[in-house]
Amino acid sequence: MKKVLILTLWAAATAACAQSDYDKSRATEVYAPVPRAVDTSGPVPSDAVVLFDGRNLEAWEAVKGGAAKWKLVDGAVEATKGTGDIRTRQSFCDVQLHVEWMTPAVPAENAPTGQARNNSGVFLQERYEVQVLDSYKAETYVNGQAGSVYKQSVPLVNASRPPETWQTYDIVYKAPRFDAGGKVSEKARVTVLHNGVVVQNGFEIEGPTAWIGQPPYESHGCAPIRLQDHGDAVRFRNIWVRPL
């Protein structure tokens, strides 16, 4: 009888102890706010803003003014020499951005080299360029090759595909913050996946990207995404963005 009592007490104590751990575990559980559901069954996440789906350039305008004049070809849009950069009509701050791009074939003889080898670019907030370039078995300064934050950050690897092959950029971007005096209080950060491979891992952007020099940050708000007309027939397709 005594043995049974001891066993019963031991079982009760064990149960109480287990209950106690369960209660402790509940203290760190969070139930709200509940994340919104995003449907990912389609080609584009359900909460994405589609910027270009091959049909028209309604979401874009020419930086020079007026409608975007890049030409539509086979469900893509092609940077059209002399028409200038294009930018989204809508402004964005923190985003996840998906862009697909393709550089044209290069001739076997006298192929363009360096920065002339089919250059374009994706500018975040019109100021910070993730370089688009044919960097497949092609050399240039490494902080200017495909996947670089232009003149600031060399890509971790070269994930480039050959010309005439579609490539992807998936960019996670946190916009810079500025204090009341207009001074940068938190620099922009960017993570870039090139063809699914991380090439920029939370790089802290130093300021606007420039060909010459290193300009400092200047205070700005949300701003368009811009694509570069560098005079080369680089194509883009399937462009969508998720404001974060």
**Type of residue numbered 107:** P
Q: Check binding of 152 to Mg ion (CB under 5 A).
A: no
User: Which letter does DSSP use for residue 149 in this model?
Assistant: B
How far lies 53's CA from each of 58, 84, 122, in Å? 10, 21, 17
How many residues belong to the site for Mg ion (CB under 5 A)?
3
Q: Check binding of 88 to Mg ion (CB under 5 A).
A: no
Q: Which residues pair with 72 in a beta bridge?
A: 77
Q: Check binding of 119 to Mg ion (CB under 5 A).
A: yes
User: Exposed, middle or buried, 116 (CB in 10 Å: 0-12/13-18/19+)?
Assistant: middle
Task: With contacts defined by CB under 5 A, name the span among 15-23, 67-75, 103-111, 226-234 that binds Mg ion.
Answer: 226-234
State the chain's maximal CA–CA distance in angstroms: 99
Q: Check binding of 155 to Mg ion (CB under 5 A).
A: no
171-181 b/e (C-beta count within 10 Å ≥ 16 → b)? bbbbbbebeee
Task: With contacts defined by CB under 5 A, name the span among 88-96, 176-184, 217-225, 227-235 that binds Mg ion.
Answer: 227-235
Which residue's Cβ has the minimum distance to Mg ion?
Answer: 121
Q: How far is the CB of 135 from Mg ion (least distance, A)?
A: 11
Q: Check binding of 121 to Mg ion (CB under 5 A).
A: yes
Q: How far is the CB of 205 from Mg ion (least distance, A)?
A: 15
Q: How far is the CB of 199 from Mg ion (least distance, A)?
A: 15
Q: Binding residues for Mg ion, per CB under 5 A?
A: 119, 121, 228
